[in-house]
């Protein structure tokens, strides 16, 4: 399987609850490489673009209020099957249905405060990465343990 990139957003509740380090550590221990990361405040404009598919839905305005309420941490992770790996690690969107051992199963409190977003496909990852990062903000480098992570 070829290395791919995916986008991850640690939402305001993850940052406020000081879960950033634990979540990043889980990804790194899994063998995923952080190639970009930054803390920022999502503007209304960015939020509307990011969540464009939800515009007009009843939860859109509360979602905008939430995602712009505090700092978030945006990341680009790289690894074999990164999109699928991150999705499995996150667990189901509804934390009540998320398996123990997943990020949401262990750390999220409600469906509306589920601490994390990860791209659902390689196409979504490309779109979401381009919303949050310029090309020169993404680092290409070899991690010293990569020889042990790939066959």
By annotation, the residues acting in catalysis are: 117
C-alpha dist (Å) from residue 120 to 58, 137, 140, 144, 151: 22, 22, 23, 29, 26
Cα angle 131, 136, 150; round to 5: 95
Look up residue 77 and give its DSSP letter. Answer: E
Token pair 């667990």 in the structure block, residue: 91
């Amino acid at each position: 399987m070829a290395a791919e990139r995916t986008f991850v957003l640690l939402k305001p509740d993850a940052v406020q609850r000081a879960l950033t380090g634990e979540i990043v550590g889980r990804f790194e221990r899994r063998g995923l490489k952080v190639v970009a990361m930054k803390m920022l405040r999502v503007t209304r404009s960015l939020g509307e673009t990011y969540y464009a598919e939800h515009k007009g839905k009843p939860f859109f305005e509360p979602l905008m209020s939430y995602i712009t309420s505090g700092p978030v941490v945006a990341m680009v992770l790289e690894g074999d099957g990164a999109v699928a790996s991150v999705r499995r690690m996150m667990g189901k969107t509804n934390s009540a249905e998320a398996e123990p051992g997943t990020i949401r199963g262990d750390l999220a409190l409600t469906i509306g405060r589920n601490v994390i977003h990860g791209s659902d496909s390689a196409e979504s990852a490309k779109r979401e990465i381009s919303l949050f990062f310029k090309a020169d903000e993404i680092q290409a480098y070899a991690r010293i343990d990569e020889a042990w992570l790939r066959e």
